Structure 1
Amino acid sequence: MDKDKLTQEKKEKSGPKMSRRKFLAICAGAIVLAGGGWALSRNELANRLAGRAMGAAQGKLPIDYVRQVIAADNEHARTIMWQSDSAMREPAVEYRLQGDEKVSSVKAKQETFTDDGVTVELYTAGLCGLEAGQKYEYRIKADGEADDWHSLQTDDGGDFSALIFPDSQSNDYSDWKHLAQDAAKRNEDADFFINMGDLVDNGEDHRQWDAWFDAVAGIIDRIPVAPLMGNHETYNEDWKVREPVAYLKEFSLPQNGSEEFARRYYSFDYGEVHFIVLDTQTDEAADFHQGLLETQQAWFREDVKKTDKKWKIVLMHKDPLQYRIANRPERQEGFSDEGRAWMPLFDEAGIDIVFSAHLHTYRNRGHIKNFQRDESGPLYILTGVAGNVRYPGLWVDHALDKVVAPQPETDNYLTLAVKNGTADIACYLPDGTEIDHETLKK
């Protein structure tokens, strides 16, 4: 959801390009992010620098943000990424079956990435030919040194569970960190996690990406992330729309057959579910690309034809419903542009569940087909908010709302468990209190 950025002060552009570590090293106090309005405390900065110094003293590789990224086929593949402040020699990922002595190795692709005046080296390695349903471990190797081993579990094609986090956009990412870490502790068996777009408040601000990755440390290295692009990923430091450069670089996502729209939308399989991730930033892309919606709709139709999975689930950032806004009588209740563009296709394709975000409120709408309540249509869930940017009292309840989060609203997360012919969805407050539960059978 857009905030009024007109009152935000323009951040000063960085001067000469510098490494991320050098940037942190020269900061002698709190870093105030004027664009997003959040602060990195002196203690947090000191702890981060101390941790890196200790790691270097112990001979550990100077790498940041080791992460697993969802693959199209998670029974046999996984993508591993990380970054560093300077180029590394012979970067690779070593992996093995847990407890096995035989080690395989895959070279990593290296790419120099500069954004927001800061340069990092990004590394990507695709692990292929893995055995389904097996426990692996992997580590980063470069410069003649090796990182610690990290766990990796392949999909067995059967039962699974996932964590779903709504918009993590924040002006202080500590709430997001607590929510993500606590949810992960309560759901240690989760196979992967989804972040529904607007991961950060400003897509060009590298410090917010640092905060996002810091929040999921210890989670994202052991289970893969399936991210969505939100409108906030497209904002530059002046709060004007640009290409979502950082998002597209930070996550090497499954291919969609389009060079122009690569990584913007994609699909993947897990267990008995085919997930379809849409890019709803059609308006934001209009100044840079033509035909995003039409190209994506054609891809969607072909993509759903190819799957033989029992369940089909859509993940989209912008919500298909339109809400009235308090004190805005001209805004009518109904369906958004995204809803009118996509809901007929969901009906046609037999989609089972549609998860959306963007409005920072949790709403269960039940089943909708042909723009009206119909139990034969997809279940529509507006996932809420996982960061601390909230809009209390903004939305007037929609006639199709079935369950609304307790007011005044706070952040929340969801779980999805698919097993024994059921898809079980639950929504929780940060302390683990369940506020909604829905079970579909097939």
Structure 2
Amino acid sequence: MTRSTLILAYFAVVISFSCQAQIQELEHGHTHYKNKSDIPQHKLIFPSAAPDRIIIHLTENPTTSFAVNWRTDQRIDTAYIEVAKETHGPDLRLQKNRRRLLANTQFFENENTADKEPLVKAAYHSALIDALEPGTTYVYRVGDGSDSDGNWSEWFQIETPGSDENTPFSFIYFGDAQNDVKSMWSRVIRKSYQMMPEVDFMLHAGDLINHSESDREWGEWFYAGSYIHATVPSIMTPGNHEYNYENGTLSQLWKPQFNLPRNGPLNAIKETCYTLDYGNMKLISFDAKYFKDYPKYRTAQLNWLDSVLASNTKKWITLFMHYPIYSTAKGRDNKALREGVKPLTDKYGVDLVLQGHDHTYARGYASNNAEGKTVVQDAGAVYAVSVSGPKMYESQDQAWMVRRAEYTQLFQIISVTKDTIKYESYTPLGSLYDAFDLIKDDQGNKTLTNRVPENFPMRLKKDFVEE
């Protein structure tokens, strides 16, 4: 064979391999999701072997346990969580320093045809890590149990609350995120974390997303919070948009991707109606959507709430729900909820009622007479309605309101000590829009001091949007 013939043969082989590689690249695509890369936001929708949508939750006993959920594709049929005490270096990875727990795994398929979304096949994994020490920093990771790190998450930190119930703590309260979550809500949750990185947990008052079965929207919600969801525990109550508008049932994705207490009154609302203690505060999620839609079960839900409040031993009580007892939006009124729940908030001295739904902001108390007092004795429960996403309505000025706003995205940082609740509502710029201090003595007498910023005028939609 001549030299020229050898050269031609060599280039023929090279070209052949190159063509085969291009064909394989076209078949598989750079994203490794064959035939899916043309689907908008496909990376938010489809799972892989690597864990995503990792989130931790408070349990009934947060001083000694926490709950974790995450998602993979269905190739991962067995999953694990590893947990260790945080250390000064990589010695946390030594086998003697970490323990491994088998996760609960369920296969799940969801095809949201209403929003023209594709079939998504996923494996959802959950675990409850207990026997922890109070007031201790731990690290954890989730994965498939392999020796390599490829299908494991990074190590996340979490600190358990101390055993002294009077240790100060803080949490962030969000009203509806709901719409344009990746685009517009992401900056709100990230700003809140920037301002309070040592926050102990986050509380969501419903309507986290807009369409209950939308894998894309849930993907946006997890994306917006990213690693914050995996390091700061969350608790949430469902809104009407977490319920399927076609059949009235709770989103199929709620329980697979969240891991909330199961101590509610009815099987249908376990993990939506529940209670837990954190420090010296009793926290109660009340499923207002279920209460409204199923009148025959209202008595059971109210009896449960009554029993939880009657047996409470904590100094502070926070009730959170989606529908407001006092609505702010024009034309809305949740009369049955108010007639059922408010007598119990009055009877047992509930301190905070945190709500969403109305896509405006208002904060006040039932005994307010619009007198503009700075210091109020025995104001009763303080009611707040807030919105953290960009969907906005108009509100109606009412006597119970101390402060209101329209066309304003807000988050609330709430700090709790033995004798004081400090409530501050901020815009995405980090500007203080509303604030108050609530002081309670050992006999249960309360004094409320309003701290509405004098240099921040009330925001109304008409001042920003042309009719």
Report the counterpart of residue 422 of structure 1 in structure 2: 420
Supply the distance in 2 between the matched residues of 1:211 and 1:128 (Cα, whole angstroms): 30
Cα deviation code 1:331-389 (max 9, x no counterpart)? 59x763211110001111221111111111111113549xxx99535333333211111
Query: Which amino acid is the alignment partner of residue 269 of structure 1?
Result: D
Supply the distance in 1 between the matched residues of 2:306 and 2:55 (Cα, whole angstroms): 31
TM-score by length of 2: 0.76
Query: Which amino acid is the alignment partner of residue 36 of structure 2?
Result: I
Q: 1:85 to 1:376 in 2, by over 3 A?
A: same
Report the counterpart of residue 295 of structure 1 in structure 2: 300
Q: 1:164 to 1:23 in 2, by over 3 A?
A: farther
- Greater radius of gyration (CA): 2
* Pick aligned residue for 1:277 from 275, 285, 295: 285
Gaps of 5+ in 1: 1-20, 32-39, 326-330
Aligned 8 A contact 2:105 2:123 in 1: yes
Cα deviation code 1:203-260 (max 9, x no counterpart)? 0111100000101101010011111100011135xx6633332223321110115323
Report the counterpart of residue 3 of structure 1 in structure 2: none
Supply the distance in 1 between the matched residues of 2:364 and 2:35 (Cα, whole angstroms): 49
3-state SS of paired residue (2:250) = coil
* Pick aligned residue for 2:132 from 121, 130, 133: 130
Name the structure where strand makes up a greater proportion of residues. 1
3-state SS of paired residue (1:220) = helix
3-state SS of paired residue (1:437) = strand
* Pick aligned residue for 2:223 from 206, 214, 224: 214
Report the counterpart of residue 115 of structure 2 in structure 1: none
Aligned 8 A contact 2:324 2:385 in 1: no
Query: Which amino acid is the alignment partner of residue 86 of structure 2?
Result: Q
Supply the distance in 2 between the matched residues of 1:387 and 1:292 (Cα, whole angstroms): 31
Supply the distance in 2 between the matched residues of 1:172 and 1:197 (Cα, whole angstroms): 14
Aligned 8 A contact 1:354 1:378 in 2: no
Q: After TM superposition, list the pairs within 5 Å mapping 1:356-371 onto structure 2.
A: 356-366=355-365, 368=367
Instruction: Compute the RMSD of aligned alpha carbons.
Output: 2.7
3-state SS of paired residue (1:95) = strand
Supply the distance in 1 between the matched residues of 2:304 and 2:131 (Cα, whole angstroms): 26
Report the counterpart of residue 105 of structure 2 in structure 1: 110
Name the structure where helix makes up a greater proportion of residues. 2
Report the counterpart of residue 13 of structure 2 in structure 1: none
Q: 1:165 to 1:364 in 2, by over 3 A?
A: same
Identity of aligned residues (%): 22
Q: After TM superposition, list the pairs within 5 Å mapping 1:134-145 onto structure 2.
A: 134-144=136-146, 145=148
Query: Which amino acid is the alignment partner of residue 107 of structure 2?
Result: T
Supply the distance in 2 between the matched residues of 1:324 and 1:196 (Cα, whole angstroms): 16
Q: After TM superposition, list the pairs within 5 Å mapping 1:241-280 onto structure 2.
A: 241-257=248-264, 258-280=266-288
Supply the distance in 2 between the matched residues of 1:314 and 1:64 (Cα, whole angstroms): 31
Q: After TM superposition, list the pairs within 5 Å mapping 1:28-177 onto structure 2.
A: 28=38, 31=40, 40=41, 62-99=50-87, 100=92, 101=94, 102-115=97-110, 116=112, 117-144=119-146, 145=148, 146-156=152-162, 157=165, 158-171=167-180, 173-177=182-186
Q: 1:94 to 1:320 in 2, by over 3 A?
A: same
Q: 1:418 to 1:176 in 2, by over 3 A?
A: same
Supply the distance in 1 between the matched residues of 2:75 and 2:420 (Cα, whole angstroms): 47
Query: Which amino acid is the alignment partner of residue 397 of structure 1?
Result: D
Q: 1:90 to 1:26 in 2, by over 3 A?
A: closer
Supply the distance in 1 between the matched residues of 2:84 and 2:190 (Cα, whole angstroms): 27
3-state SS of paired residue (1:396) = coil
Query: Which amino acid is the alignment partner of residue 306 of structure 2?
Result: R
3-state SS of paired residue (2:267) = coil
Report the counterpart of residue 15 of structure 1 in structure 2: none
3-state SS of paired residue (1:249) = helix
Report the counterpart of residue 336 of structure 1 in structure 2: 335
Q: Does 1:433 align with 2:441?
A: no
Report the counterpart of residue 36 of structure 1 in structure 2: none
Report the counterpart of residue 348 of structure 1 in structure 2: 347
Report the counterpart of residue 197 of structure 1 in structure 2: 206
Aligned 8 A contact 1:193 1:224 in 2: yes
Q: 1:24 to 1:215 in 2, by over 3 A?
A: farther
Supply the distance in 1 between the matched residues of 2:170 and 2:340 (Cα, whole angstroms): 30
Q: Does 1:231 align with 2:229?
A: no
Supply the distance in 2 between the matched residues of 1:25 and 1:433 (Cα, whole angstroms): 46
Supply the distance in 2 between the matched residues of 1:380 and 1:25 (Cα, whole angstroms): 53
Query: Which amino acid is the alignment partner of residue 401 of structure 1?
Result: M
TM-score by length of 1: 0.80
Shift of 1:266: 0.7
Q: 1:437 to 1:322 in 2, by over 3 A?
A: closer
Supply the distance in 2 between the matched residues of 1:341 and 1:211 (Cα, whole angstroms): 35
Aligned 8 A contact 2:177 2:388 in 1: yes
Gaps of 5+ in 2: 1-30, 113-118, 441-467
Q: How many residues align?
A: 382
